[in-house]
Homo-oligomer: A and B are copies of this chain.
């Protein structure tokens, strides 16, 4: 019943649904119909907040409540979740109404982040709390390992720059690839190029600055994940 692309998406998620209808609902935007992912988003947002809070609590034993709150918002804010959604090509799996489809809703931060939370909610209902927590830990542990107290005040471009400086690497170059739309509906696509790294890190947003921040986030997350995999990151 599942097509190849959805099969691949489920593999990337790391949870095989016993009720695939739950996943389908999580990937259905409200523009598609009345059975959509909004309630699952509510649930996923809450479980995500809880698991990330617990991870931060244990990882930063000396952090104040205020620091923990700020670090949590770095990890779970819409922009960050949209980046994680893009890393697993969630946009390709979205079911959108025709209007949203035409206007490129599958690229929009809010729609991607909402669906990402809804998928978390669906995993909770399908597999129970321990399964859902294990997925969230797998997804967020690399990011958490790379966070430091004080990072909550820094934007992704600054963090990427510091990360590269720490490795003695050259600074990134941001290239504007494309601008579409007019006036308030302008859409910027930016590439973050790193010397000696062939991966294609892109970000797009309604301003050039935001698109650069998005591309920096994608680059930073990928570098940290690679670094954790090879064990060179610690």
Contacts and interface: CB of A to CB of B under 8 A. Distances in A.
A190 interface: no
Interface string A20-57: 00000000000000000011011101110110011001
Interface in A114-131: 124, 129-130
A54 B133 CA distance: 14
Interface residues of A, number: 22
A3 to B, nearest CB: 29
Nearest to A124: B54
Contact of A68 (B39, B53, B57, B133): B39
A226 interface: no
Nearest to A46: B53
A69 interface: yes
Contacts of A45: 53
Contacts of A69: 42
A41 B65 contact: yes
Given A54-B124, A124-B54, A129-B129, A65 B46 contact: no
Interface of A: 38-39, 41-43, 45-47, 49-50, 53-54, 57, 63-65, 68-69, 124, 129-130, 133
9 contacts: A38-B64, A39-B57, A42-B65, A42-B69, A43-B53, A47-B53, A49-B49, A49-B50, A129-B133
Given A39-B63, A49-B49, 6 more contacts: A39-B64, A42-B65, A42-B69, A43-B57, A46-B49, A129-B129
